[in-house]
Structure formats: C-alpha cells, structure tokens
Amino acid sequence: MKNDDIIKVLDILEDTYPEAECALDHKNVFELLVCVVLSAQTTDKSVNRISPELFSKYPDAKALSEADQADVEEILHSIGMYRTKAKNIISLAKELVIRYHGIVPNTYEELVELPGVGRKTANVVLSVGFGVQRIAVDTHVFRVANRIGLVSEKDVLKTELSLMDCIPEDRWSKTHHSLIFHGRSICDARKPKCKECPIADICQWDQKNI
C-alpha cells in the first residue's frame, strides 16, 4: 500500500473508532500487566468478568505473590489455560516483589523476563501503562494489517516490524487499537463485513470478496 493510502487508512480508522483503547479493565499498571497475561487465548470480556474478584483479594504484587495457587485457579477457572495462568501470575508477582520491590518495570527487556510475559504483552504494557509508542500484534492486528494491505508478512514479528516501518511512530499505539476495533467490528476472520467497511475502496484484499 502506498504511503498516502496508509495515512488515509489510519485517518479513517481513527475517525471510525474514536473510542478505540485498551478493553481490559484496570486501575494501575500492575492490574494491566496481570490482565494482559490472562487475556492470552481468551477474550477481554472474559478477563474483565473475573478480574474484580482477583484484585479485590490480591490488590498488589505482594499479596498475589503469597497467594495459594488453588485459590487463584478457582477465581480463573472460567478462562482458558487457567491453571497455567494462575501459576504464571503468582510467579510474575514474586519476581516483581523480589526484583522490583513490587513495581512493574518500564522497559521491554525487563518485562519480557517476567513469567508469562511475551513480546505482545510487553508492548501492550509499555503502550497503555507507560505511554510509550508501541505496536502490539495480536490475532486481530495480524489479520487486519495483512488482509487490508498495510503489510504483507507471514508471521507476527515481521508484521510488527513492518508496521513500525510504514506507520509514523507517533501513531503506533493508536493504530494498534484501531486495527483491533476494526477486526472485532468489521474485519472478522471468517465473515468480514466488506460492504460496511469504511476503507473498502482502499483495502487491497481480493475485490471479489466485497
């Protein structure tokens, strides 16, 4: 996609989804980090349903670090991979207490060393929690960015790097959220609503699908 068309797509998506932001309910960076870890292969709505109980019982890293895994599993049991996630967030909390006095670190290198934290999670925390311009590539961003023609890549990392290359840095975080909202509301994986799409005339997906 040409640079002019890329900017046009970004403008249209931002105008279409002015409310686009992190959909995970959180009150601070610690809650954000835990919620993003829990959201892997699970919907944000599912995480939002269980997070109030989790944080009312374990409001900070110290409390969660001392939690019994069975108790945490009971709270998380309705979301996918709840046993692994319970183990990860307890281990994560212990690392925060031991290495960072219970405070979430604000660098990519430190974040990805925490249990259960990968590249996408670290990028979301940096963007939403610390206001750093980042593009976190989840399934929606990967699908939409490659489908509409912003990039043409076969894996998540290359998609992230290509998006960083073609999108102005001061728009990285906003673009991340706009692409997610577009993927959820219009550009569905199985049944994209191409006739309702605000960027259909620019989109480079096979036009016979429209």
Active site residues: 120, 138
Of 101, 163, 156, 108, nearest to 132 by C-alpha is 108
C-alpha 177/C-alpha 174 separation (Å) is 5
CA-based angle 200:147:210, to the nearest 5? 35
Q: Measure Cα distances from 84 to 8, 59, 152 in Å.
A: 42, 20, 33
Please check whether residue 172 is in contact with residue 164, taking contact to mean a CB–CB distance below 8 angstroms: yes
